[in-house]
Structure 1
Amino acid sequence: MATINFGGVNETVITRDEFPLEKAQDTLKHEVIAVIGYGVQGPGQSLNLRDNGFNVIVGQRKGGKSWEKAIADGWIEGETLFDIDEACDNATIIQYLLSDAGQIEAWNTVKKYLTAGKTLYFSHGFGITFNEKTGIVPPADVDVILVAPKGSGTSLRRLFLKGEGINSSIAVFQDATGRAKDKAIALGIGVGSGYLFETDFQKEVYSDLTGERGILMGALAGLFEAQYNVLRKNGHSPSEAFNETVEELTQSLMPLVAENGMDWMFANTSVTAQRGALDWKGKFRDATTPVFENLYDEVSSGREANRVISEGSKTDYRQKLEVELTEIRESELWQAGAAVRKLRPKLN
């Protein structure tokens, strides 16, 4: 483990130099890893594990789109692709990567295969942290661990194929065998993490729910809409409003911030941009801090979990979701975005 200084705070992290792939393979050489669910995280994690030489199978409900996607990705029915019952029965490590709603629905099926010494793996702390709402209470004689990549399963796979990795958090909720932490680290390396940092299930879900609703998606989408609408209201064309709001951020600035940091970005822009950005930064921080504080309170109180479970369990949730997504998709902002994406030049 390496101690790294993060903004004046020392933190212990695990890097691939300290825990190389070969050590991860040796740690899990007797394990059969069943990835349950082939939706958001399942494809990326299972394919990365397979490519890294681990013994991996996939469990998925037969006949649906995800089953067909798994077959298209090279999983073979009856050899490496099974229904959920058979995959859980064959596994020593069950990676429970269904959606939160799917985990609640499938829990009674999965639980009966959690015999002594097995490992139950999550990539999200929701089911365990809010177990009084989800009913997900593992037996006492199994390891319960978490590896949570800080990005989508699609990004996890894309970066892996480029020889890069997404950072992941790890946690141990229950150590029945004395090997739970080693298994979590090995699986974190196996799925393609850049480095690993320790947390617990509660902190993971609190930060994750805050991030999703905040800067990662909810706040970002809201800020996009606000700036675009103000520009349009003041006579700017859709192309100009979209390029100044979304395109320049996503295609030009954020990759540079990711590489060099925000201070570098400020230092490498015009004085006009520097002064304006630095002067307005605090105003946006102060205006949005109460919203983030309210958001964190809703998450940590469990009220946000209640809403998620209540809405996600409704039979018409998917239909209502599609209405909401269609409204976004057909808005002028994102219709302009679709046009801009098609016009991105290919110079080579």
Structure 2
Amino acid sequence: MLARLLRQMPPTARAARAAMGVRRLAAMPLHPQKKFASKYFDVEEVMFADQPEQIVRGGRTLFPKLPAALEGVKQIGVIGWGSQGPAQAQNFRESLEGSDIKVKVGLREGSSSMKAARACGFTEEKGTLGEMYKVISESDMVLLLISDAACVEEYKNVFKALKPRTTLGLSHGFLLGHLESVHEQFPADVDVVLCAPKGMGPSVRRLYEQGREVNGSGINASFAVHQDVTGRATERALAWAVGVGSPYIFQTTLNAEWRSDIFGERCILLGGVHGMIESLFRYYESHGMAAHEAFKTSGEVITGPITRTISHDGIKAVHDNLSPADRQIFKTAYCASYTPSRSIIEECYDSVSSGNEIRDVVMAAKRFDKYPMGCIDNTRTWKVGAEVRKAGGTPEQRKAVPVNPLTAGVYCAMMMAQIDCLYDRGHVYSEIVNESVIESVDSLNPYMHARGVSYMVDNCSVTARLGSRKWAPRFDYILTEQAFPAIDAKAAPDEALFQRFLAHPVHDMLKTCSSLRPSVDISVS
């Protein structure tokens, strides 16, 4: 049966499978998507390597279409003021300016966030700020942007407060993961949709502000329709993504999103890169490098030139831009780091998919009052990093640091290991690239480059912050224990592994993505 299916695959798909040495058929994702259509937004089909996917192009030119796409919606309730709430509430309000659709923020009575919301122009006097359950009960579209742990604590009351035929919007599928684990479901009489910007809230707001005069500036997003009761769920989900400023909108499912999102932030997006820089810094110091130089060669190289190269030209360009001698160092570091990284990455995906990470987040929330999360940039690595940033000029000037081939090999190996894990688990190409590459280089790494690891991690969700703290030490240890000794021993590279890297379909995927990037790069200085 498998042999017959392989013979029936188109040549490009067979070549991709052979190049990757993977176990599943590229043309048969385990998280399939249904085709969608829109009356108000143009839907395009694009090829990611051998896989067709549908996208919608956003942009400010579409803002006048939002009221029609949101037909039946008189009030949008934005619930919560955490990482995503401030950005999405302000962006959506600006995008709907001049329409009769109200964006109203809902917060707990007496919340300390009330003051911050008022400072952003949401007030009781204007009817744009109120108690969360009252806002939920009176809104036609509810964007539930409270923390994941709060969702678990409050969802039964939230469901009771929803009007029938309301559209419930989520920016993360965490709640679905929890409902599955306790064998419950969303209310049957409401739409359930997703708009998941591929970056932390400050990035969503920052790029929207940068792009006020530039069409197509923003953070890309994924959307999904989990339940469609009104018959308008797709239009409302797309309008939401356009309204918060997403220049390109990709389709996913709620089930695939929560797995890939929780997993990705624990690996290369946050936890993996955090642990990697810690281990590289110590490695270079142990080999006689001065402290500032060690941080430049690890943290600055990753968040500066490597990030910029991948953002604009793809992962393979990091290798191709090196000299022949440096390519050999890259190869050795890549092959030494891939398998150790992959072992932790596979464990992490299993932990996420099984619901263990969701349970960890829920349990941790109960300890916060007594044991809050501590600061993560007090180690020698990040204190030296702060000195480097202070002494080294602007973030743009610091991006000129030369690429170290060993650092590049380690970083690309971890990124590719995550890509392969998601591919093997059946995620579609756009989701693989967004959760492993785009969010990293276009949203998160620039913040670490400008202000350090704590600023990057702790402007994300509580789920992400907890996951980064839990998994960063695992990546740190396994690189120190396994990858670096192999590099020092000059272990012979695995030629087959490296050839799979050079011929990997992700390079074609990223070529497609390079044509779907925001019109301006984020500036965080």
Match of 1:8 among 47, 50, 67: 50
Mapped to 2, the partners of 1:143 and 1:45 lie a distance apart of 19
Q: Distance in 1 between matches of 2:326 and 2:259?
A: 35
Spell out, residue by residue over 1:39-62, the C-alpha distance to the aligned partner (whole angstroms, 9 max, x if none): 111011111101101521101124
Please point out which of 263, 271, 288 is paired with 2:316.
Answer: 263
List 4+ stretches of structure 1 deviating above 4 A: 132-136
Please state if 1:69 is matched with 2:111.
Answer: no
Unaligned runs of 5+ in 2: 1-42, 212-216, 398-525
Equivalent residue runs for 1:121-160 within 5 Å? 121-133=169-181, 137-160=185-208
Separation (CA, whole Å) in 2 of partners of 1:213 and 1:84: 30
Q: Distance in 2 between matches of 1:256 and 1:93?
A: 40
Are 1:102 and 2:188 matched, yes or no?
A: no
Deviation at residue 134 of structure 1 after TM alignment: 6.5
What does residue range 11-26 of structure 1 map to in structure 2 within 5 Å?
11-16=53-58, 20-26=62-68
Contact kept in structure 2, 1:107 and 1:136, CA below 8 Å: no
Is 1:90 matched up with 2:141?
Answer: no
TM-score, scaled to structure 2:
0.62
Closer, same or farther: CA 10–279 of 1 in aligned 2, 3 Å: farther
Structure 1, 303-312 or 156-165: larger mean CA deviation:
303-312
State the partner residue of 1:192.
245
Amino acid at match of 2:368: Y
Which residue identity lines up with residue 65 of structure 1 in the other structure? S
* Corresponding residue of 2:161: 113
Deviations 1:69-89 (A, max 9, x none): 111111112421111122112
Residue matched to 1:317:
368
Aligned to 1:47: 90
Corresponding letter in the other structure for 2:83: V
2 CA distance for matches of 1:67 and 1:291?
A: 41
| CA distance 1:175–1:36, shift in 2 (3 Å) | same
In the alignment, the residues of structure 1 paired with residue 184 and residue 289 of structure 2 have an alpha-carbon distance, to the nearest angstrom, of: 52
Contact 2:351 2:357 in 1 (8 A): yes
Contact 2:70-2:235 at 8 Å conserved across structures: no
Displacement of 1:136 in angstroms is 6.7
Q: Partners of 2:106 and 2:325 in 1: how far apart?
A: 55
Structure 1 regions of 5+ residues with no counterpart?
none
Alignment of 1:24-39 (within 5 A): 24-31=66-73, 32-39=75-82
1:136 and 1:72, CA in 2 relative to 1: closer, same or farther beyond 3 A?
A: farther
| Residues 157-236 of structure 1: pairs in structure 2 closer than 5 A | 157-163=205-211, 164-236=217-289
C-alpha separation in 1, matches of 2:94 and 2:299: 35
Contact 1:257 1:265 in 2 (8 A): yes
Conserved 8 A contact 1:35-1:42: yes
1:24–1:185 Cα contact (<8 Å) kept: no
How does the TM-score come out when normalised to structure 1?
Answer: 0.91
Mapped contact 2:58–2:247 kept (Cα < 8 A): yes
CA RMSD of superposed structures (Å) = 2.2
Percent of aligned pairs sharing the same letter: 34
* Count of residues in correspondence between the two structures: 342
**Cα distance in 2 for residues equivalent to 1:136 and 1:272:** 57
| Counterparts of residues 324-343 of structure 1 (less than 5 Å) | 325-326=374-375, 328-343=376-391
Higher relative contact order (CA 8 A, sep 6+): 2
CA 1:253–1:112 in structure 2 vs 1: closer, same or farther (change >3 Å)? same
Deviations 1:163-182 (A, max 9, x none): 21212111111111111111
Instruction: Work out whether residues 177 and 355 of structure 2, in 8 Å CA contact, stay in contact via their aligned partners in 1.
Output: no
Q: Within 2, Cα distance between the matches of 1:136 and 1:320?
A: 30
Q: Distance in 2 between matches of 1:288 and 1:329?
A: 23
Secondary structure at the residue paired with 2:389?
helix
Residues in 1 aligned to 2:143 and 2:331: alpha-carbon distance in whole angstroms? 45
- Structure with more strand by fraction: 1
Question: Is the Cα–Cα contact under 8 Å of residues 169 and 193 in structure 2 kept in the other structure?
Answer: yes
Q: Aligned-pair distance for 1:199? A: 1.4
How far is 1:7 from its partner? 2.3
Q: Distance in 1 between matches of 2:47 and 2:332?
A: 28
Residue number among 84, 88, 104 corresponding to 1:57 in the alignment: 104
Q: Could you tell me which amino acid in structure 2 is paired with residue 59 of structure 1?
A: G
Counterpart amino acid of residue 50 in structure 1: R
Partner of 1:295: 348
2:161 is paired with a residue of what secondary structure? coil
Q: Deviations over 1:298-340 (max 9, x none)?
A: 111112222222222x2x3255343xx33x3221011112222
Q: CA deviation at 1:133?
A: 4.5
Matched residue of 1:159: which SS?
A: helix
CA distance in 1, matches of 2:306, 2:165: 48
